[in-house]
Amino acid sequence: MKNKIFIWIGVIVVIFVVVLVVILSSGNNSNAKTIKIGVSAAMTGSAAYIGESYTTGLKAAQQEINAQGGINGKPVELLIEDNKNDAQEGITVFRKLELQKPDLFITTMSTPSVPVSPLVQQSGIPLFVSVVFADIVSKNENSISFFPTPNNDAHATVQDMVINHVNKIGVLYLNSEYGQAGLASFLKEAAQNNISVISQEAFLNGVTDYSTPLAKVLATKPQAVYIIAVASTPVIKQVKVMNSSVVIYTNLLPVFGNLVNQDKSTFEGVHLTASPVSIPGTAEYNQIRNQLKGVDPANTLGYTAIGYDNLYSIKAVLTKDPNVKNFVQTFSQIGPFGGIGGSFVLDSRDVGMVLYPVIFKNGVIQEVK
C-alpha cells in the first residue's frame, strides 16, 4: 500500500515539474539573454538600395536602444538575412532564421513577404510587416504592418494631379504584388477625384526595355504617365526619350531610397510622394539629421527613418508587455507614438503614414501645394 502511495506521489511530482517547465518555456522568454529579431530584407539585387537603407535605420535604433540598457534589460539582437526581393528566397530566409528561434520576425518587400506569411503564422512567431504594399495583415491575424500603405501613396499622388489639373492619365506598372496593389489604390483614388485613367499597361520584373507597353500608353495621348515600379529610374529615362514633354508621376520609392539624388537629371521635373523626413524645411527633416550624426544632408533617409521607427515601436510594445505572444494585440493598443519620421497612432494592426506630393525641381525636393 505504502509503495503505491509513493508511486502516485512520484507521478504527481513528475507531472507538476513537466507542467511547470512547459509554462516557463512558453511564457515570455523571460530566461532569454537577448531579444532576437529576425529580419528579411533585400540586401542585393535591384531593390538593394531599399534593404540597405531600411537596415541602416534598424541598426541605428538598435545601437541607441542597447546603449540605453536594451528592452527590459535585454539587448536587441538583429538577425538580418538577404531575401533578394525573391519569393523563394523569402521562404529560405525564414526557414534559416526560424532555427535561431527569433522572438519576432520582420519581413520586407511584397514579393518575398506574401508566400512567407502563412509559414510565419504557422510557426506562431509574431510577424512585423514593413516596406510591403501587398495586403498581408488581413490574411495573417498574428501580424502587424507599420509602413505607408498603397492608399497613402495614391492619395498624395492624386492630390498633386488635382492641384495641377491633370485628369487624363496613362499608367505603366510592374506586374507584381507590389505593382498590382499600387494600381488598385490609384484607380480607386483617381475615380473618386474624377481623374480618367485612359490606359494601363504592365511590364515584368527584370525587363530592361519598356518601349512596347510604353508606346501603347503614349498612343492614348495622356496628360501624364504614372509609373508604379520598384526601380523606376530606367523606366523614367525611356519615357523621356520617347516623349520629352509628357508629365511624369511616380511613387514614393525613389525619394525613400534616395534615388533622386543619385540621378538628378533623370528625376528632374518628376512628380513623386515623400514623407516629412525627406522634405527640406520640415521639423522631421532637421530632427533625423541631427539624430543620425554624420549623415549626408542630401540623403532623403525615407527607409532609414522607417527602419528606425519600426524598431522603436517594437521597444514600446515589449516595454508595455514583455510577452511576445501578446505582441500583435499590444501593438494595436499603444496609441500615440512619437517617431523620428513623425507622429503616429498605433491603434490597429495596419499603421500607415501621411505622405505629401512633391516634385524634384532644380535638383531639390519641393512640396507641391
62 within a domain of the structure (yes/no): yes
Task: Tell me, yes or no, whether 13 lies in a domain.
Answer: no
Confidence at residue 3, expressed as pLDDT on a 0 to 100 scale: 52
Burial of 211 (0-12, 13-18, 19+ CB in 10 A): exposed
Q: With respect to residue 27, please indicate whether it lies within any of the assigned structural domains.
A: no
The domain total for the chain is: 2
Q: Are residues 266 and 347 in the same domain?
A: no
Closest Cα partner for 64 from 252, 247, 308? 308
What is residue 171's predicted lDDT score, i.e. its pLDDT?
98
Tens of each residue's pLDDT in the chain, 369 residues: 445 554 555 444 444 433 333 333 444 445 679 999 999 999 999 899 999 999 999 999 999 999 999 999 999 999 999 999 999 999 999 999 999 999 999 999 999 999 999 999 999 999 999 999 999 999 999 999 999 999 999 999 999 999 999 999 999 999 998 999 999 999 999 999 999 999 999 999 889 999 999 999 999 999 999 999 988 999 999 999 999 999 999 999 999 999 999 999 999 999 999 999 999 999 999 999 988 888 888 899 999 999 999 999 999 999 999 999 999 999 999 999 999 998 999 999 999 999 999 999 999 999 999
What's the CA gap between 198 and 118, in Å, rounded? 37
- Cα(275)–Cα(148) distance, rounded to whole angstroms? 9
Q: Using the Cα atoms of residue 35, residue 47, residue 129 and residue 127 in order, give the sign of their dihedral.
A: negative
Q: Is residue 211 part of a domain?
A: yes
- Residue 4 has a pLDDT of 52
Same domain for 363 and 223, yes or no, is yes
pLDDT of residue 350: 97
Do 155 and 268 lie in one domain? The reply is: yes
The CATH number given to whatever domain includes residue 106 is 3.40.50.2300
Looking at the structure, do residues 313 and 193 belong to the same domain, yes or no? Answer: no
Residue 360's beta-bridge partner residues? 365
* Kind of pairing between the strands at 364-367 and 356-361: antiparallel
Of the CA atoms within 13 Å of residue 51, those in its CB half-sphere come to: 23
322 forms beta bridges with: none
Same domain, 62 and 190: no
The DSSP call for residue 78 is E
Range of the domain at 210: 151-283+355-367
Amino acid present at 346: L
Find out whether 152 and 354 touch, Cβ atoms under 8 Å: yes
**In this predicted structure, what is the pLDDT of residue 15?**
47
Single out the residue of 55, 42, 112 nearest to residue 84, CA to CA. Answer: 42
- Note whether residue 10 is domain-resident: no
Contact 201, 214 (CB under 8 A): yes
pTM: 0.85
State residue 179's pLDDT score. 95
Q: How far is it, in rounded angstroms, from Cα 342 to Cα 344?
A: 6
State the Cα–Cα distance between residues 149 and 92, nearest whole angstrom.
Answer: 26
Q: Are residues 298 and 271 in the same domain?
A: no
Q: Is residue 48 part of a domain?
A: yes
Alpha helices (H) in the chain, listed in sequence order: 2-26, 48-67, 87-98, 110-123, 150-163, 177-192, 211-219, 233-242, 253-256, 259-262, 264-267, 283-291, 302-320, 327-331
DSSP letter, residue 28: S
Q: Is residue 200 part of a domain?
A: yes
**Alpha-carbon span 256 to 331, nearest angstrom:** 25
Same domain, 190 and 271: yes
The Cα 98–Cα 213 span in angstroms is 41
User: Can you tell me the distance from the alpha carbon of 152 to that of 171, in angstroms, rounded to the nearest whole number?
Assistant: 18
Query: Do residues 134 and 113 make contact, with C-beta atoms less than 8 angstroms apart?
Result: yes
